[in-house]
Amino acid sequence: MTRRFWEQPLSSLNAEEWEALCDGCGRCCLHKVEDADTGRIWPTNVACKLLDLGSGRCSDYRNRRKYVPDCLRLTLANAGELEWLPETCAYRLRARGEPLAQWHHLVCGDREAVHRAGISVIGKAISEVIAGPLEQHIDWGDEEPMEVERVEDEDEDGHEDEGGHRA
């Protein structure tokens, strides 16, 4: 690998250097939920079944697409375009010409720094194998979840429900 290759344009990296950019946070491996009306992408704390929740790394990276066919491959073409990638993602940062964070292992020399900095999913995520419905795991950030008004049905005779409402 070239010395300080992470400071070079993404287009100049070889395959080994490209893979080394990953900080191991695991955040790209969390499921997202898209709002059908607005197209907004909401993050969840639900991890792909292959994500090792103890290390923040894929447990079968080489064969991941065999088990998770919709696992997206980051490329030079899409690294700067994927809005759901974390702001701290090395691929996203370098695609924008921005430097890596100080906690990134290539900068500080410590692969555990990403975890100590609180950037990774370790201790914050749950496997999709046990999570249940994704909608129950949406990270609303600073926004309040949408309130859904409950509507009671009329009975068979067209009478109002007990609350005095007509559906």
Of 4-8, 127-131, 133-137, 138-142, which range is least confident? 138-142
Per-residue pLDDT at 164 exceeds 60: no
The pLDDT, as a whole number, for residue 40 is 87
Residue 127 lies in a domain: yes
Residue 82 lies in a domain: yes
Residue 56 lies in a domain: yes
Domain total for the chain? 1
Residue 155 lies in a domain: no
Residue 158 lies in a domain: no
The residues facing 43 across adjacent strands are 32
The pLDDT, as a whole number, for residue 150 is 43
Residue 166 lies in a domain: no
Q: What is the mean pLDDT of residues 68-96?
A: 93
Domain ranges, residue 44? 5-137
Residue 14 lies in a domain: yes
pTM: 0.79
Q: What is the mean pLDDT of residues 151-165?
A: 48
- Cα separation, 16 vs 98, in Å, equals 20
Residue 112 lies in a domain: yes
